[in-house]
Amino acid sequence: MDSALAVLNAAPLWLVVTIKSALLLLVVVTTFAYAMLAERKVMGWMQLRPGPNRVGPWGLMQPASDAAKLILKEDLTPSTADPLIYKLAPFISLLTAFSVYAIIPFGAGSQGTWAIGNVDAGILFLMAISSLGVYGISLGGWASGSKYPLLGSVRATAQMISYELAMSLSFIGVLILAGTTSLDGIVSAQARLWFCIPQAVGFVIYVITAVAETNRTPFDLVEAETELVGGFHTEYSGLRFGSFFIAEYVNMLTVSCIATLLFLGGWNAPFGLTMVPGVLWFVAKVATFMFFYIWLRATLPRLRYDRLMAFGWKVLLPVATLNLIVTAVVVAVRG
């Protein structure tokens, strides 16, 4: 083990980063595939039906068959579409969804944190990259050259920029408490007390805005099938549709990771249960958050669009601002 680490330390940086990225990509894509299966299974149980159970034992090969189906499907481009942007949009979505993982740490060992890159401005970097995710959806909807995708993408843009504000404000509360912007530092600051307790309001705001940012039920106005056929990806088929699909689930995974890092103590073990490795705690917390997502989808109906916008601007934003002010004052007074 030590000799293997020595070899790794001697290897050039680009090689190490490439190997780490390839491994992480594999892990994230596999997680996406089984998150999708888990969602269908859990939703099935919640609605008193078995869920997918035909492909492989207990339906475990379902993701593979879905992938094969998506790859083999015909790739259609509507004649009214703008071909260049239409083909570019799914890639923008995928790129922004995956590039976040360059800096997310999954655990800590004696050799430092388990991340591809450990940057000091970690949380700002996350905000920067995830704020680019909206382009895939808005450009894709516009380039389809058809009215329902356009409506879907206009909704998505408005919704995502509105909820991003409250989300950023909920981050700043955590930053004030931790006193650092590096994700590593934020997790170490939670060694004694997870930030979901002193930042309870911020945590609730984050959870709501996270669901809205990833366009999931009850905030999935972007692809409201009763109003917009399929929303921004109505015209997409085959692997290009698959790209949007993967990006959505990877984004879900990302916001779950951020929730774990910022509010749920990262890889810190609860109740002093340190015999379980930190990375397992991290995975368990992320999985809990993902389950919460699925639970929401099976439970809640979709919001009306004007209610959604009013909620974002008139409730979440003022409450987030108030939370920020109170946190700052308390931290300043206690010194």
Interface with another protein by CB under 8 A: which residues?
Answer: 80-82, 84-85, 88, 117-121, 124-125, 127-129, 131-132, 134-135, 138-139, 141-143, 145, 150, 153-154, 157-158, 160-161, 164, 180-182, 185
Q: Minimum distance from CB of 65 to another protein (Å)?
A: 35
Question: Which SS3 state, helix, strand or coil, does residue 115 take?
Answer: coil
Nearer to another protein, 170 or 217 (CB): 170
Q: Minimum distance from CB of 55 to another protein (Å)?
A: 39
Q: Minimum distance from CB of 264 to another protein (Å)?
A: 23
Nearer to another protein, 219 or 293 (CB): 219
Name the percent of the chain in helix, strand, coil, to the closest 5: 70, 0, 25
Q: Minimum distance from CB of 84 to another protein (Å)?
A: 8
Q: Are 137 and 93 in contact (CB under 8 A)?
A: yes
Nearer to another protein, 185 or 198 (CB): 185
Nearer to another protein, 143 or 259 (CB): 143
Nearer to another protein, 62 or 144 (CB): 144
Q: Could you give the CA distance from residue 201 to residue 12 in angstroms, rounded to a whole number?
A: 45
Compute the half-sphere exposure of residue 15: CA atoms within 13 Å on the CB side of its CA. 6
Question: Which SS3 state, helix, strand or coil, does residue 320 take?
Answer: helix
Q: Are 59 and 37 in contact (CB under 8 A)?
A: yes
Q: Could you give the CA distance from residue 197 to residue 210 in angstroms, rounded to a whole number?
A: 18
Q: Minimum distance from CB of 198 to another protein (Å)?
A: 22
